[in-house]
Amino acid sequence: MIGRRHLLQLVLTICLGWFSGLLWAPPALALGGPQLPLGSPAPDFTLPTNAGDGSVSLADYRDQWVVLYFYPRDFTSGCTLEAQRFQRDLDEYQARHAQVIGVSADSVNSHAEFCDAEGLAFPLLSDPKGMVSKAYGSWLGAASLRHTYIIDPDGMLRARFLGVRPAIHSQEVLATLDDLQNA
């Protein structure tokens, strides 16, 4: 049987552990790796794409907002729905001076076919080894995870979405973008 003194120590230890957890927050973690703190510089990158001159760099979009979304595979049901929703809302993103960019491990040729099949007018970037996905904490094994990051015109991470629901995600991103731009 546990003594009264030991019971009191146990309760005190639990309470202090719980309280200290309120005061100190560990770095954000997600399936795929550690997440960079919001307000920190977004990792820069250059990746091949099916659009434009064949490559896209984050630096190409300085002075505008960037919605950088990672997704597992072209032509899968969730990824197709997510891309369709971003395309449907593309005029709203452009009105907010925001560029939508998709990243997956698929090839440039797969991206070109996916864009043609779905009528996508924003760039999809090929990250076959997951180097950029890893830098953003969005890589698991051989594919990018469904994560999205909002990057401000100065190149700073301002918001992140982990484990998104494709059907409503674009509208969530637009609402957050409005909040950030009106802050």
Q: How many CA atoms lie within 13 A of 160 on its CB side?
A: 22
pLDDT tens-digit map of 109-134: 999 999 999 999 999 999 999 999 99
- 139 near 150, Cβ under 8 Å? no
As a whole number of angstroms, the distance between CA 88 and CA 122 comes to 11
pLDDT tens-digit map of 12-44: 455 544 444 444 344 454 567 889 999 999 999
Catalytic residue among 51, 79, 164, 174: 79
pLDDT tens-digit map of 70-119: 999 999 999 999 999 999 999 999 999 999 999 999 999 999 999 999 99
Q: Which CATH number fits domain 29-182: 1.10.3720.10, 3.40.640.10, 3.40.30.10, 3.40.109.10?
A: 3.40.30.10
- 159 near 174, Cβ under 8 Å? no
Q: Is the dihedral of CA 172, 173, 175, 176 positive or negative?
A: positive
pTM listed for this prediction: 0.83
pLDDT score, position 51: 81
- Buried/exposed code over 118-155 (b: 16+ C-beta within 10 A; e: otherwise): bebebbbbbbeebebbbbbbbbeeebbbbbbbbbbeeb
Catalytic residue list contains 15: no
